[in-house]
Amino acid sequence: MKLEVVALIVGIATGVLFTITKLPLPAPPSMAGIAGVVGIYIGSKIVDLLKVFFQ
């Protein structure tokens, strides 16, 4: 849980910094981008489970 909190704080700070300096955000600006990241994570977990199941 500690890692997630640190990641959230760094993400917020990055968003603030990029917005103040008027730079484009280094992240997808839509829910489709977020869904893609979640999909990548879920896909990696599925592969991890299959590795355990087939060994």
Q: What is the pLDDT of residue 11?
A: 86
pLDDT tens series, the chain, 55 aa? 799 899 889 989 988 999 999 998 877 778 888 888 899 999 999 999 999 988 8
Cβ contact 42:35 at 8 Å: no
CB-based contacts of 25, cutoff 8 Å, min separation 6: 15, 18, 19
Residue located via tokens 């990548």: 40
Residue ranges of domains in the chain: 2-53
Cβ contact 14:26 at 8 Å: yes
- CA torsion 45-48-54-55 (nearest 10°) is -160
Q: What is the pLDDT of residue 27?
A: 73
Q: What is the pLDDT of residue 21?
A: 96
Q: What is the pLDDT of residue 50?
A: 94
